[in-house]
Amino acid sequence: MPPMTGTPAENPLEIRRKRLHFRSLRRGFREVDLVFGTFAAAELAGLSEGEMDQFEALLDVPDQEIWLWLQDKLPVAPEFDTPVFARLKALCHRDRPQWNV
């Protein structure tokens, strides 16, 4: 009988995407969880490595601060004012948004 080798190793990018998706759902501030989780479900599979870097950086921003950015109540810090943030913010400005989380 051949030795058990386990499952084939997953692509490192797919592992990273799964980790980012999990983090997007567990930030702690429910409204921000919904925004990040919906974005991750819809967009994460198609993000490049650079875009994943931008998304991961946003995951490290405190909830209250990013919530104020998303609501246009506080200017976005320049280092976080990225195309990924613009796409994330666009979710909040849709007509009748549906949250997929």
Reading the chain (101 residues) residue by residue, the pLDDT tens digits are 555 555 556 789 899 999 999 999 988 888 899 999 999 999 999 999 999 999 999 999 999 999 999 999 999 999 999 999 999 999 887 766 666 65
pLDDT at 71: 92
Domain chopping of the chain, boundaries: 12-92
- 14-32 in b/e form (b: 16+ CB < 10 A) is eebbeebbebbeebeeeeb
CATH number (1.10.150.250, 3.10.310.30, 3.10.20.30, 1.10.10.60) of 12-92 reads 1.10.150.250
pLDDT at 22: 93
pLDDT at 95: 65
